[in-house]
Structure 1
Amino acid sequence: MKSGSVRGGKFGIISVLIIGMLFSCAKDEEGTVNTVSSNGEVFERDTLSVSEINSRIDVIRQAKGEFNWSDATNQMIWSAIVHSENVVTIGYQGDLSGATNKGTSEDQEIKTRLKKMVLTSEMKGIASKKAEEDKLFLGENDTIKFIDVFIHNRETFVNLLKENNIRYIEPSNYAYEIEQKNIMKSASSIYESGCGAAAETLTAGDYTVVAPNAKVPWNFYIHNIPQAWEYSTGAGVTIAVVDTGIADQQSLMGSDFNNGLSQGRTVEKYSTYVDSFWPWATTVTSPNDACGHGTTMNAVAAAPRNNKGFPVGVAYNANLISYKASSGVYIGFYQASRGVEKAFMKLADNNKVKIISMSMGTEGIIPQTKIRDAIKYAYSKNKLIFSAAGTSVQVINNFYGVIFPATMDEVVAVTGIQEGAEFKRCDNCHSGKEVDFTVVMQRTGTKKTVPVLGSVNNTEEYVGGSSVATATMAGVAALVWSKNPTWTRQQVLDKLQRSASLYPSKDAQFGYGNVDVLKAVQ
């Protein structure tokens, strides 16, 4: 784990240079009213273009290692709101120390006052107020204390900046346009990256067949996972995977999940994702995985060991809970971020869950505080949380390091490396100081990755990147916890660290290195 990157305080949205400022007004040369801070910084009325916003994000990110809206000026934040369908998240109260009590009466009073203020400001000049009011408020969470709203009037934003009980105001639907750097042709390809059911024929040298007729991926032996199965198979531990769901077409992750040597366990499938571009849509989609990524991640962690002839998961006797939180791998737009937040909140309150694995991220550019707070809430409930350090095309790999939420102190960050004596990240994997563990998942010669159960019945495929590395580590943690059921989260994490190849040192790019799973369960 690593140092946290969130700052507290009343005004989480304001640059560290202007936190705590008081606001007044002044006129520019043309007589237009600007908001001015006590230190003289002007909240310009001019709206920045998307390219201007992104350029300023780059400057901040390069200076601090990670961009947060708390580092942005008010002009940047307002401009981003304008360019993202005016969807805004308002986090209220100064701290979340009382998060477990679902909100005090004081919290409710603050929320009610903020909603009334937004309503009054936004409804000015609108005749059919009831119709518009119904569309104004999108959602809220009384535990981690935020409300999602539409804000069209600059005056509303200015008034919110003056409030004493606001932690942050953030654009909820702003997507950093990576294509401006000639990295990708379209933003949509970023969010769809990692999807696609690609059935493949496995090369014989990439797996070993074990009883009763299951395929063990080549990289399992490098980490001594099959040897560790003599001591633990994950029984009694529940792994939760937050991703794109599990495909209905894959019976081995459904009706045949409890099969063969995988006995006495359960799989549960849920969804928190609203599959709509429209922020006001509320109908949650089915848990079915139309992307394919979630199915393979669930399979890496806990696919059954039986006589069907397909790749086995790391913890083949663990229970599994799958949450569909997005339709793609990257958390960018409003419905996906809300889906992730809701999934973590539900898993936090599920006493059966010990481990949460999420192989999705934001591409690291724009962390969202409501996701951060939901993860912190899950962490407060003693969940061991694994997240992918990042997987993308090589040029983005060089452009950006570890992605959010793997940058969080509460999260165990995992990345993939190539086989061999030297530590060399896989072709599309990110690395950095936040990484805690590595998993070997790419062959040096053939560049083949890891054999995995496919998202369609009777199929298998190769999957790589930090995604599969993360799901693998979640399974490994389940093996350790199953062997030591009375252990705390910290004891499990300590054992993983002590069993890693670089311990007690921590490398600046690869953390503690590869875990020897046999050592971890002995």
Structure 2
Amino acid sequence: MRTPYFIIVVVAFVLSTSCRKTDTLRTTIPGQEDPQERIPKSVINAFVKQQLDAHGYFDWKMANDTMVWSALLHGDSILSVGYSASSSAGEILALIGNKEDVASGKDQHNPTAEKLRFLNVRVSRYETVSALRSSDKVRYAEPIGYGAFMKDVNPRDAAAASDILASGCGYNSAKTDLVAGVDFMAISPAAKLSWNYGYHRIEQAWQRSTGQHIKVMIIDTGVSPQQENLGSAFNQGLSSGRTIQKLGTYNSSPDDPCGHGTSMAGVLAGPRGTDGNTAGIAYNCDLVIVHAAENVVLLSTSAINGVTNAYVLGADDPAVKIISMSMGTLFSSGQIKDALSYAYSKQKLMFCAAGTSTSFFAGFVGVIFPANQPQVVAVTGMKDNLRDRCDACHTGSKVDFAIVMQKSSGRNPLSIAMTGNVPSTVGGSSVATASCAAIAALVWSKYPAYPRDSIIARMARASGFANSRSSKFGWGLIDANAAVGF
């Protein structure tokens, strides 16, 4: 992922913190009394950064009622409300209806809401926010779409907000300057082996496993309908007898307007074919790819709901073994946490990107949400010196594995472009995550009777820091051949 992963918060935070010290910030946030004015975005953004600096994550429970109400009104006024097992959606709606007009209190839940016990409701009044957050029937009440509005521009203006609403998009085009023997090796029948596969002994692992009979779900921005290698030519050459499904939970369409999802699918499951394109690491696995968000930074209400729905789809498909998501956000989401817990209870092995941003920002922001959650395996990228993180990759104690994905020249691993048979390239923790999930598919294909935790254990034992876990890279670089075993 080449676009700075969280550039929007850099802009907002620099503007706010340049003129406001931490101690002053605390005294400028109104108390819990019914406020007359909203807290400005700049103050909210600075508070978010303060919590990130102090704790390494941000949850709306850290903010008071006034700040949550202000963020709600700065955004789309949709509140995500998780209710307890001892209460019902009807009770929550009744509580809201007592304080809002009928239209505002009307339930706007998505199809998985009943299963995960949450609602999306339109709320405008402070007293409603305060009542919900103080109720023992409510687990969380969050301004779900604030991220898309946090910059001081109108997000409905596509030009003004393009850096927010297109983050990580537009870079999946064919690379005509790839050099044989440097950027790739030619392999049978007529495919390309990405330069970084050697660091993980992928080709050797292929002697015993190619991912067959393992179904992997990718939650991302969809897949290009123009790319035959992820469509009608998914089975070609040495890739055969497998399936690909294309689903949409963001706007019901599986099509990829961004390019990021297509590149993740290529890295993980591109066919080892006859048309000269690059081979994915698990080139014989079954694939489900879900268009769940507009870009790689989860900011909008639609994206949060799209990802929530996607995890539940994966959880409810008994054939899905692995779920890979190379997207994330700085804001914790209660309903995505619920979805992760639900999928984990169904024995899904989940991989998430640790985060990718500008080199400076990656230096002091650690593992992002949801990679920082205990149910998932967090993955980051490393340079080919086998020592340093990639220029834009996040590291930290929550990272579990690392993948080599940046040359000293800056070249990233090969993937499949939006159309045609000339490969593209893709970087950041995004490609690292898809690669790690693909290695897991190789291992699980070799040991289909193993439970989820045993697959992770094999990968950890076959990694560079197996005997002494790193505080930055977890178990480190995986030797896929050793993980697959003999």
TM-score by length of 1: 0.82
Give yes or no for the alignment of 1:92 onto 2:83. Answer: yes
Partner of 1:500: 463
Q: Tell me how far apart the structure 2 counterparts of residues 178 and 82 of structure 1 sit (CA, whole Å).
A: 11
Per-residue CA deviation, residues 178-206 of structure 1 (Å, 9 max, x unaligned), is 868xxxx9654144122113221222211
Q: Does 1:240 align with 2:214?
A: no
Q: CA deviation at 1:143?
A: 1.6
1:442 and 1:162 map into 2 onto residues whose CA distance is 48
SS state at 2:109 partner: strand
2:99 equivalent to 1:118:
no
**CA distance 1:178–1:112, change in 2 (3 Å):** closer
Q: Does 1:318 align with 2:285?
A: yes
How far, CA to CA, are the matches of 1:44 and 1:470 in structure 2? Answer: 44
Shift of 1:460: 1.5
Instruction: Say if 1:45 and 1:75, in contact at 8 Å, map to a contact too.
Output: no
In the alignment, does 2:279 pair up with 1:302? Answer: no
User: How far has the Cα of 1:399 moved from its partner?
Assistant: 4.0
Evaluate the alpha carbon distance shift between residue 321 and residue 500 of structure 1 in structure 2; reply closer, same or farther with a 3 A threshold.
same
In the other structure, the counterpart of 1:61 is 52
1:193 to 137, 142, 167: 167
Q: Distance in 2 between matches of 1:187 and 1:437?
A: 34
- Relative to structure 1, the CA distance from residue 187 to residue 399 in structure 2 (aligned partners, 3 Å threshold; closer, same or farther) is farther
* Whole-Å separation in 2 of the counterparts to 1:143 and 1:495: 33
Name 1:257's counterpart in structure 2. Answer: 234
- 1:240-262 CA distance string (max 9 Å, x none): 00001110000010011011111
Corresponding residue for residue 222 of structure 1: 199
For residue 401 of structure 1, report the CA deviation from its aligned partner.
1.6
Instruction: Tell me the amino acid that sits aligned with residue 73 of structure 2.
Output: V
Distance 2:480 2:136 in 1: 50
Counterpart of 2:287 in 1: which secondary structure?
Answer: strand
- Identify unmatched segments of 5+ residues in structure 2: 1-29, 153-158
- 4+ residue segments displaced more than 6 Å: 176-180
**Kept in 1: contact 2:34–2:126 (CA 8 A):** no
* 1:191–1:329 contact (8 Å) kept in structure 2: no
What SS does structure 1 have at the residue aligned with 2:98?
A: helix
Matching residue within 70, 78, 81 for 1:79: 70
Partner of 2:313: 346
Contact 2:34 2:127 in 1 (8 A): no
Residue 448 (structure 2) aligns with = 485
Contact in 2 for aligned 1:300/1:314 (Cα 8 Å): yes
Question: Which residue in the other structure is 1:456 paired with?
Answer: 419
State whether structure 2 residue 402 is matched by structure 1 residue 438. Answer: yes
Structure 1 residue runs of 5 or longer lacking an equivalent are 1-33, 37-41, 95-105, 124-128, 275-283
Deviation of 1:62 after TM superposition, in Å, equals: 1.5
Q: Quick check: 2:69–2:125 contact (8 Å CA) kept in 1?
A: no
What SS does the corresponding residue of 1:54 show, helix, strand or coil? helix
1:85 CA displacement: 2.2
Q: How does 1:199-214 map to 2 (within 5 A)?
A: 199-201=174-176, 202-204=178-180, 205-214=182-191
Once the 2 structures are TM-superposed, how far is the Cα of residue 45 of structure 1 from its aligned partner?
A: 4.7
Q: Report the secondary structure of 2:146's partner residue.
A: coil
The alignment status of 1:329 with 2:301, answered yes or no, reads: no
Question: Which among 377, 383, 391 is matched to residue 342 of structure 2?
Answer: 377
Deviation at 1:391, TM superposition (A): 1.1
Instruction: Please tell me the residue identity of whatever aligns with 2:109.
Output: G
Task: Determine if contact 1:178/1:187 at 8 Å carries over to the other structure.
Answer: no
Whether the 8 Å CA contact 1:191–1:331 is kept in 2: the answer is no
Trace 1:380-399 onto structure 2 (pairs within 5 A): 380-399=345-364
Equivalent position SS for 2:405: strand
Distance, in Å, in 1 between the alignment partners of 2:148 and 2:227 is 35
> Which residue in 2 is equivalent to 1:170?
142
Query: 1:86: how far off?
Result: 1.3
CA contact (8 A) 2:148 2:164 kept: no
Structure 1: distance between partners of 2:49 and 2:341 = 26
Equivalent residue in structure 2 for 1:138, among 104, 108, 122: 108
Residue 382 (structure 2) aligns with: 417
Query: Structure 1's 117 and 336: CA in aligned 2 closer, same or farther, altered over 3 A?
Result: same
- Structure with higher Rg: it is 1
Which whole-Å deviations, capped at 9, do the CAs of 1:283-332 have from their partners, x for residues lacking one? Answer: x3x10111111011011011001111110000101000011001211100
- CA distance in 2: counterparts of 1:440 and 1:393, whole angstroms: 18
C-alpha separation in 1, matches of 2:65 and 2:260: 37
2: CA distance, partners of 1:188 / 1:499: 42
Q: Which moved more, 1:332-341 or 1:199-208?
A: 199-208
Q: How does 1:146-161 map to 2 (within 5 A)?
A: 146-161=118-133
CA distance in 1, matches of 2:449, 2:34: 55
* TM-score, normalised relative to structure 2: 0.88
Equivalent in the alignment of 1:270: 247
- Matched residue pairs, number? 445
Shift of 1:458: 2.5
Letter in 1 for 2:431: V
CA-CA distance at 1:212 after TM superposition: 0.5
- Provide the C-alpha distance between the structure 2 equivalents of 1:378 and 1:347, rounded to a whole number of angstroms: 7
Give RMSD over aligned pairs.
1.9
Contact 2:219 2:324 in 1 (8 A): yes
Shift of 1:163: 2.3
CA distance in 2, matches of 1:167, 1:478: 35
SS of structure 2 residue aligned to 1:436: strand
Alpha-carbon offset, residue 216 of structure 1: 0.4
Percent identity over the alignment is: 39
Q: Secondary structure at the match of 1:137?
A: coil
